[in-house]
Amino acid sequence: MNYQIKRTKEFSQKIKGSKFIGRAYPVESRESAKSIIKAVEDEHRKATHICWAYRILQNGESLGYCSDAGEPHGSAGPPILAAIEGRQLVNTLCVVIRYFGGTKLGIGGLIRAYGGTAAEVLELAEKKSFIETINLAIQVSINDYSDLMRILRKYRLSVQPEFSSESVTVKIQTIPGDLDRLQNDVRSISSAILINE
């Protein structure tokens, strides 16, 4: 079972004079994670280091990314990522901002500081079960729209139809377990075109 945090959370602590600020964010994609990282970097221009990690679940595959942001290799990004993975979190970004306080922590100290700050903020964050969904768009002729709606009601899917003069395009989100059956049902409509989003 995977989880996602519900909303942004922050935690800060001082370790041997250095201030560590941990922030956890729910994200939907690599692009949304990158834009949040950029915003944090703009907000904390005077910080010594802004290290981060995020884990995204896409098409059934979990992908983790991290950065030491100038700290010794492996001392910041990987411990933050380990804190995310250890809590089975996906679509989650954790950023740890460091303001240097004059005392060097050494590699072990940095690993404990970054990993510990990430763990604290992730523990504070409220979590929810994460159910992966797949985005699909289905296009049918106007005449086949009622047939399509009958199929989609069977799967209890909410729809966002877009009408043109000759066709209707419906955007839906479905779970991986229903995908094959749904696609087979939709293909029974002769005018149907399936588009993976």
pLDDT of residue 49: 97
Per the prediction, the chain carries an average pLDDT of 91
pLDDT of residue 20: 98
pLDDT of residue 40: 97
Total-model pTM: 0.72
Final residue of a structural domain among 104, 129, 154: 129
Strand order in the sheet with 18-26: 9-15, 18-26, 92-99, 49-58, 61-67
Shared domain for 123 and 146, answered yes or no, is no
Measure the CA–CA gap between 69 and 84, rounded to whole angstroms.
Answer: 18
Q: pLDDT, tens digit, for every residue of 17-71? A: 999 999 999 998 899 999 999 999 999 999 999 999 999 987 667 899 999 999 9
Count of structural domains within the chain? 2
Count CB-CB contacts under 10 A for residue 36.
Answer: 19
Final residue of a structural domain among 129, 148, 172: 129
Shared domain for 109 and 30, answered yes or no, is yes
